[in-house]
Amino acid sequence: MKQPKRTAPQESLSVLVIRRTGWVVGLRWVEAADTRIRLRRNNLGDTHRVQVGRKPGRMTGFARPTKVKRGVRLCSLAAAFLEREGGNSYGVYQLDEQDDRWLFLATARGRLSVMGDVVGPLREVEAARERFLEFNEPGDTQAGWHDSATPEQALSWQVLTRGLTRAQRRRVQLREIPSVTNVGILALLMVSLVAALFNWRDDAALTAQQAAALAAFRARQAVTVDKPAVRASHPWATLPPSSTFLSQCWFTREPLPVSVAGWRLTAGECTLDGLRLRYVATAGSTVEDFAKRSKELLGQNAGFDLTEGGQNGDVYIPFLTSRSPVRDEVVPAKDPQLMRFVSHLQRRNIRVQFTEVKPPQAAPGAANAPLPQDWREFTFSVNARLAPEWLLAGCDDTGLRLTSIAFTLSPQGQFDYTIKGSLYAQR
């Protein structure tokens, strides 16, 4: 099965200045639940951020604008697009007619898409638009997608900045991420202020305050408060969302060659840590040629069972991201959770069956009984010829976690996929 081509990466971030406002394009967008706002030096060098939307679909955009004059307020043009268009919308806007610079923006289900905010020549921006439409569905609305701007219209990006209210401009404004220097100065000022306050206080007043605080602490200690029941932690909070796993697997296997030094790709499997490939020797091919060529093309050493004749070559490619984003979302009850997933697959004529994972039972007389669970886990395995990225496109992945995507490739070039994972529901 022919796979879609990967689009080119977006160009450098740009700031478009109108009077005292700088409209920033090309931000790095992530789900707010998948990231933490940390100090500047621990946040990939970004200096500014903006949060848009409401939980649980809130998005965070990061930027590192340079050469911006003092007093210019920075705002996100993609966030302004969300304020004006929202829903299921996308559009291609012209940034600079002379330099052939365009901008692609997109929203899905009322939230910004991480596949939007792409800056570049018209060819690259149109490719980003096609990729977005391939991997997304407009949802259950009758209206479908709203195309707000096309290259034929050549609409200027400035139309998105007109008519915004003062409240909307505050929501799309970028805020500076604290740096280590600023935090250190603030901490030093606070310490100095506290020290001056304690020096100013009278010793007798300070002693009385300490005695009162000690008495209040002992009074609180004397009150018996029932502790809330301790429950087992949610397993899906430690696993990457299905969208993240699909993206990691796709961008790792998509550029792989189906033939290396005469060896033919026959199977592979994406797990949580990486992608394992199986190549099979053909007539006249050698393990030496495959080992050398696979190191050049795939960047990894190949493994063989030479005692069995060296007919199979295995290559393991770890995922590039060292830490996958995780989230601990609230999951629905069993029936609506399973019904939603089954309906999504039925629309594609795919059958699925579930197996419930029963919680461990405490042995009689055991000292450490297992903690009670407030969830239920249902494992599944789906076989299809449709690529997983297309099969699960538009699926609500609340409580959905994938653990394996395996595929086989026939000599005629036919892919067959097996997707394994778990669906979690409220008990």
pLDDT score recorded for residue 172? 92
168 lies in the same domain as 72: yes
239 with 177, same domain?
no
Provide the residue range defining the domain that includes 330: 235-356+374-426
Whether residues 240 and 384 share a domain: the answer is yes
- Residue-wise pLDDT tens digits, 98-154: 888 999 999 988 888 888 899 999 999 999 999 999 888 765 445 689 999 999 988
| Inside any domain, residue 71 | yes
- The answer to whether residues 242 and 96 belong to one domain is no
Instruction: Count structural domains, the chain.
Output: 2
Q: In sequence order, which residues have a C-beta less than 8 Å from that of residue 69 and are 6 or more positions away?
A: none
Say what the pLDDT of residue 9 is. 37
Give the model's pLDDT for residue 370: 72
**Could you write out the DSSP letters of every residue in 27-73?**
-EEEEGGG-----GGGTTT--EEEEES-TTS-EEEEE---S--TTPE
In a domain, 393, yes or no: yes
Residue 364 belongs to a domain: no
Strand partners for 417: 384, 407
Determine the straight-line distance between the first and last CA of the chain, rounded to whole angstroms: 40
Residues 152 and 20 in one domain: yes
Question: What amino acid is encoded at 405 in this protein?
Answer: I
pLDDT, residue 11, reads 46
Same domain, 146 and 260: no
Q: Tell me if 4 is assigned to some domain.
A: no
Q: For the chain, which ranges sit under pLDDT 50?
A: 1-11, 41-42, 140-141, 224-227
Q: CB of 115 within 8 A of CB of 106?
A: yes
Q: What is the DSSP letter of 401?
A: E
Whether 189 maps to a domain, the answer reads: no
In a domain, residue 170? The reply is yes
Q: Tally Cβ neighbours within 10 Å of residue 195.
A: 10
Q: For strand 89-96 and strand 111-112, is the pairing parallel, antiparallel, or unpaired?
A: unpaired
